[in-house]
Amino acid sequence: MAEFTLRIDGMHCGSCVRRVTQALNSTEGVEVEEVRIGAARLKSEDQPHVDAAIAALGKAGYSAHLEQ
C-alpha cells in the first residue's frame, strides 16, 4: 500500500476533523492513518482511490490536493 498526504483547505476545528474523517472512512479503497486540521495521511492501493478521496472531501465541502 502506498501512503500519501492530502492538504485540505477550510478546516479549522474539531468538527471539521470529524467530518473529514467520516468522508474519508466512507471512501472505498482508502485507509485513514491520521486526520488533523489542514491535512490527512492515508493509505491506498492505487491512484484512482486518491481521486475518490479528493472527491469525497469535495462533497463534504472541503477542497483538497495531493501533497507533493
What's the CA gap between 18 and 44, in Å, rounded? 20
Domains, in order of start, for the chain: 2-66 (3.30.70.100)
pLDDT, tens only, 20-31: 999 999 999 999
pLDDT of residue 49: 87
pLDDT at 61 over 90: yes
Q: How high is the mean pLDDT of the chain?
A: 94
Q: Which helix (H) or strand (E) holds 16?
A: helix 14-25
pLDDT at 48 over 90: no
What's the CA gap between 24 and 12, in Å, rounded? 17
Mean pLDDT across 11-20: 97
